Chains A and B, each alone.
Chain A
Amino acid sequence: MTKDEFYEKIGKIQRAKGYYFSNDKEKVMELIEALLVNKERYGYMVCPCRLAQEERDKDKDIICPCVYREPDVEEYGSCFCNLYVSKELNESKIEHKFVPERRPVDMMF
């Protein structure tokens, strides 16, 4: 799947679930490219902004869309790496939304 196909197809599916790609198109395309790189490297789409342990079972909570997306978008209007955002955040003037890491640190080791 190419970046543009991902943007169109996945975007449509996720919009139906209430999750929108950020309006920052350049950032979104970079993140999508990174997801495709991780798919190539690990065989699954690990979040571009988290360190994979390269074992699917240990990384399953951070396979995009990660399990933290829902509470993060709920609380901050954005997922950890700013790929998915709420409609409200896209409509606001906020350019960059910092989202603290919700994932328990011991899941990294």
Chain B
Amino acid sequence: MPANNIMIYSLSTCTNCKLSMELLDKQNVKYEFLDVDLLEKEERKPHLKKIKELNPKCSFPTIKIGESVVVGFREEQIKEALERL
């Protein structure tokens, strides 16, 4: 888990993933991200398992902020989760 507990599972082609990252940038928070589509198929499996645990629909973006999980680009939920950090 990254030092400040923020991880985005994303796709390199996904605009809503990009918008989520831009929102975090504006909030001046550090985060890690993983563009799952850029991984080789075999490499994806453990990550997809993890994403599915966090988000049963396994959709993108899946954003883990501390103990909270935000599914999709939802500004209010992301901000609320940041406050709970």
Which A residues fall within an 8 A CB radius of B? 27, 30-31, 34, 37-38, 48-54, 81-82, 96, 98-101, 103, 105, 108-109
Contacts and interface: CB of A to CB of B under 8 A. Distances in A.
B15 A81 contact: yes
Contacts of A49: 11, 13-17, 59-60
A103 B11 CA distance: 17
20 contacts: A30-B15, A30-B18, A31-B15, A34-B15, A38-B13, A48-B15, A49-B11, A49-B17, A49-B59, A49-B60, A50-B59, A51-B60, A81-B16, A96-B19, A98-B74, A100-B59, A100-B71, A101-B71, A105-B52, A105-B58
Interface in B1-55: 11, 13-19, 36-37, 41, 44, 48, 52
B14 A48 contact: yes
A54 to B, nearest CB: 7
Interface size class of chain B, counting residues whose CB lies under 8 Å from the partner chain: 20 to 34
Contacts of B57: 100-101, 103, 105
A34 B14 contact: yes
A109 B57 CA distance: 12
B73 A50 contact: no
Q: Is the interface of A mostly helix, strand, loop or mixed?
A: loop
Interface of B: 11, 13-19, 36-37, 41, 44, 48, 52, 56-60, 71-75
